[in-house]
Structure 1
Amino acid sequence: MDSHPHVTLEDVARAAEVSLATASRALNGTTKVRPDLHERVLAAAEKLAYTPNAHAQALAGASHRTVGVICHDVSDPYFAAIARGVMRVADENELLVMLASTFRDPQKEIAYVSTLRAQRTSAILLVGSGFEDRSWERALAAEIEPYRRGGGRVAVVSRHRGLRVDSVQPANREGAARLAEELLSLGHRRFAVLTGPRQLTTVVDRLEGFRETLAEAGVRLAERDIVESAFTRDGGHAAMSELISRGLEATCVFAVTDVMAIGALTAAREAGIAVPEQLSLAGFDDIPVVRDLTPALTTVALPLEDLGARAMELAIRDSRSSRSRVLRIEGEVRLRASVSRPADRWAGY
């Protein structure tokens, strides 16, 4: 039989009078095909001397053993710790992980989901805050829903409004509320908060949990006491520097992430403000490095690696229910040396 090197899969499908997808399934054996169609495809392939592209076939087979993980910034220790949990469970299940950083760009997140759909990954994990943006929600859902209907699995870490998918949700609002209670119990009444962009659901939840608990205790957190900056170390440094330049009135500053708190601690030190003697400082997440700071950082501890592991387990575990599963993960306040009772000069406030 003569070889026809330019015969394509499309040629085989046309000769067998089946769809391209059916021809592909019949030849690579990944799923069952009706016996009569299977025979027609094999007969057409033999008649045309079709030789599959081995490289493409290998990639197609591998795509069913890959998981796409989309996070905001893998260089951030928060996401790195979660990714470790994802990769541990993936490795236990012989899955390969493709990791992407969006740098908190909503459109880039949608583009990555679209790309992973096209590559036929078996699961997609979205790790990190959703956005308070209705158009983004609709665009993301338009990518996710057909992917799920086609058998793809999706899980998210953190709150993503509008997506009917399995999720692992840190108790951000509750954790911030408990932190506020602890700081109030130490005698603090003047607070400032350093936040990331308020279109992020995580920022909204942590800020509101903190502010509402203060309000219940009769302590008002005004807008001028909230400084918004980038969700990074440099963002925390810039926000604290701005707060100090205004004339610092707070006895305690809450940075909504540890990474921002690290930058804030450096800014306070550069301004000659002693922590905690003159100013208490707290963060959120308990990334590993904060225990080694001087002083060690008070924070709300989340089991970060476990967040990733649980999300990965949800994504690969078969579920016959159409209802999405939600796992709530509680945080724990860890009081460390960066927080003390208010300095005497603030007594009376």
Structure 2
Amino acid sequence: MEKSNVTVYDIAKEANVSPATVSRILTGNAAVSDEKRLRVKALIDKYDFKPNALARSLSKKESKTLGFILPDITNPFFSTVFLEAEKCALEAGYTMMLCDSMNNNDNESIHLKTLSEKQVDVIIIMGGRVNDVRTRTEYAEEMNKILKSTPILIVNGKMTGVKCHKIATDEEHGMIQLVEYLVSIGHSKIGLIGGRENVTSSYIKYRALEEAFRKNNLQLNKEWMIYGDYSIESGIESMKKLLKKREKPTALIAINDFVAIGAIRAANEAGLDIPKDMSITGFDDSYISEIAHPKLTTVNQNYKELGKEIINTVLDITSKKGGDTTKVIDTKLVVRDSCLSI
């Protein structure tokens, strides 16, 4: 018999025991006689037998596999969170299955169903339905159905009517830090561009901007608050709209680094010098913030800590520690070259 082809059933047949007895010996179950244990272990050593991952998962009722659903792997925010979480997952003995919904709710539903059927230990989800300001009833029902068999961890989002573990970066504080920094270098005319109005991350940032304005006794100009999306193209279009207005801000906060890059490009094409003519900040501190010209002042999402806490929460879930929890990760202002004192 070739070593590579040996199964539990082969070991059981040669040892004259049942396959269940072999499984109990492999998992350290005490309910096996010493004589049988020695006989089976001798054959395990003889054939250098190692049970496959599926067999181990069935015996231990865990797969050591995590599902991670995100909306767009090409977005550096989501890809960086995934990579930092995967590093920690590997250290903890887990493998990660990446599922990109491509910003499509139907794809998201398919991924949820597939991961649950594959019996992953925990499903981690970012973006999509968990970022809707108003939770759709059918999506909440679908999540609750999945939760009956598979734990779910929501990252940077929430769903009304869905009780599960959540973890989020403090984007509200990040926005307040940006406003207070701009105020400290002399700016009082500040705008905000990008993001969708019905997405929680945008909602949080726009509301935080308004709160920061109130605290600093600043006048809010609604004409300088322009929604769009999260792309470079959105930054370009938003800046073009802004430059057509009679009065313009001296400083502009972009919803993320991509939008900031687009805004800078459009400003440059219009003949403006950034930051001499207008200060511009990003948000997320993705890799493009350091290669932009000028380098972006932005808010760091504390990716390493977020990745670590995602997996720490997974470990809490799998070890049945505590109930539903919400963890908040600090964000940090990163000052570079895209803002100037006035």
For normalisation by structure 2, the TM-score amounts to: 0.76
Counterpart position of 1:160: 158
Q: Does the 8 Å CA contact 1:254/1:283 hold for their aligned counterparts?
A: yes
Q: Does the 8 Å CA contact 1:236/1:264 hold for their aligned counterparts?
A: yes
Counterpart position of 2:200: 201
Query: What is the alpha-carbon distance in structure 1 between the residues aligned to residue 66 and residue 142 of structure 2?
Result: 16
Query: What is the alpha-carbon distance in structure 1 between the residues aligned to residue 177 and residue 327 of structure 2?
Result: 20
Query: What is the alpha-carbon distance in structure 1 between the residues aligned to residue 286 and residue 180 of structure 2?
Result: 22
Change in 2 beyond 3 A, CA 1:59/1:269 = farther
Change in 2 beyond 3 A, CA 1:286/1:132 = same
Change in 2 beyond 3 A, CA 1:85/1:327 = same
Query: What is the alpha-carbon distance in structure 2 between the residues aligned to residue 168 and residue 259 of structure 1?
Result: 24
Change in 2 beyond 3 A, CA 1:308/1:114 = same
Change in 2 beyond 3 A, CA 1:122/1:208 = same
Query: What is the alpha-carbon distance in structure 2 between the residues aligned to residue 245 and residue 58 of structure 1?
Result: 65
Counterpart position of 2:328: 328
Counterpart position of 1:98: 97
CA shift for structure 1 position 222: 3.1
Instruction: List per-residue Cα deviations over 1:215-239 (Å, max 9, x = no partner).
Output: 3323232332111112122222222
Query: What is the alpha-carbon distance in structure 1 between the residues aligned to residue 332 and residue 259 of structure 2?
Result: 19
Q: Does the 8 Å CA contact 1:298/1:334 hold for their aligned counterparts?
A: yes
Q: Does the 8 Å CA contact 2:193/2:225 hold for their aligned counterparts?
A: yes
Letter in 2 for 1:173: E
Q: Map of 1:262-273 to 2, 5 A cutoff? A: 262-273=261-272
Change in 2 beyond 3 A, CA 1:321/1:95 = closer
Q: Are 1:244 and 2:260 an aligned pair?
A: no
Equivalent residues, number: 294
Q: Does the 8 Å CA contact 2:238/2:263 hold for their aligned counterparts?
A: yes
Q: Does the 8 Å CA contact 1:157/1:307 hold for their aligned counterparts?
A: no
Superposition RMSD in Å: 3.1
Counterpart position of 1:179: 178
Q: Map of 1:1-349 to 2, 5 A cutoff? A: 64-128=63-127, 130-135=131-136, 138-150=137-149, 152-162=150-160, 163-247=162-246, 249-317=248-316, 318-320=318-320, 323-342=323-342
Q: Secondary structure at the match of 1:246?
A: coil
Q: Does the 8 Å CA contact 1:153/1:315 hold for their aligned counterparts?
A: no
Instruction: List per-residue Cα deviations over 1:92-146 (Å, max 9, x = no partner).
Output: 23333221223434444333212322222221101246111231xx333323334
Deviates more, 1:263-272 or 1:241-250: 241-250
Give % identity.
Answer: 22
CA shift for structure 1 position 252: 0.5
Deviates more, 1:242-251 or 1:194-203: 242-251
Q: Secondary structure at the match of 1:134?
A: coil
Letter in 2 for 1:161: M
Q: Does the 8 Å CA contact 1:82/1:306 hold for their aligned counterparts?
A: no
CA shift for structure 1 position 321: 5.0
Counterpart position of 1:45: none
Structure 2, unaligned runs of 5 or more? 1-19, 28-51
Letter in 2 for 1:71: L
CA shift for structure 1 position 247: 4.6
Letter in 2 for 1:275: I
Deviates more, 1:194-203 or 1:244-253: 244-253
Q: Does the 8 Å CA contact 2:251/2:278 hold for their aligned counterparts?
A: yes
Letter in 1 for 2:131: G
Q: Secondary structure at the match of 2:249?
A: coil
Q: Does the 8 Å CA contact 1:300/1:333 hold for their aligned counterparts?
A: yes
Structure 1, unaligned runs of 5 or more? 1-24, 32-54, 343-349
Q: Does the 8 Å CA contact 2:57/2:64 hold for their aligned counterparts?
A: no
